[in-house]
Amino acid sequence: MEREQIIRLARAKYVATGITNNITEALAMYLNNDATEDEKIPLFISSPEIYGIKEALKKNRPKCEECNSDLQMKENTRDFTGKKYATAWICKCGRIEYSDKTVKEWLEILRENRQQNI
Ligand SMILES: [Zn+2]
């Protein structure tokens, strides 16, 4: 699949629905949740950081404390008061944990497989 097509799908699923207004985040979420192996290739070529996160999350994805589901990373986000955070972990049950750690910092933590309280 072409990169443009994947961007359209990611936008439809994550931007149009209001989950994020950032296409980079939408792509990262699409990559984590929906992309097939074929779709990942054109995305990987253009985004080594997303590739790194994806690989790290495969090995050590944080789980939700409430429901034990896999958490999804969100970048450059705000809480309901408008306070900005570098990252957040979101769960399908609705739980959100905001963090000041950047994607790069999380990447290191996940790669080192450190125990980490989110
Ligand atoms: Zn949960």
| Residue pLDDT, tens place only, 32-73 | 888 776 676 655 544 566 667 777 787 778 899 999 999 888
pLDDT band at residue 110, thresholds of 50, 70 and 90?
confident
Q: Are 94 and 73 found together in one domain?
A: yes
Instruction: Look up the pTM and report it.
Output: 0.54
What's the gap in Å between 49 CA and the centre of ligand 1? 25
Report residue 33 as tokens: 């949740």
CA of residue 42 to ligand 1 center, whole Å: 31
Kindly give the distance from the C-alpha atom of residue 46 to the centroid of ligand 1, in angstroms, as a whole number: 31
More confident residue, 95 or 38: 95
Domain identity same for 6 and 30 = yes
C-alpha 68 to ligand 1 mean position (Å):
6
Whole-number Å distance, alpha carbon 96 to ligand 1 midpoint, is 8
In the reported structure, the alpha carbon of residue 13 is separated from the centroid of ligand 1 by a whole-number distance in angstroms of 20
Q: How confident is the model at residue 118 (pLDDT cuts 50, 70, 90)?
A: low
Whether residue 19 is found in the same domain as residue 66 = no
Tokens of 93: 């049950």
Quick check: 25 pLDDT over 70? yes
Same domain, 60 and 105: yes
Is residue 98 domain-shared with residue 64, that is, in the same domain?
yes
Residue 96 burial (C-beta neighbours within 10 Å; 0-12, 13-18, 19+) = middle
Same domain, 32 and 64: no
Do 81 and 34 lie in one domain? The reply is no
For the chain, the domain total comes to 2
Domain that holds residue 11: 1-45
In this structure, are 57 and 41 located in the same domain? no
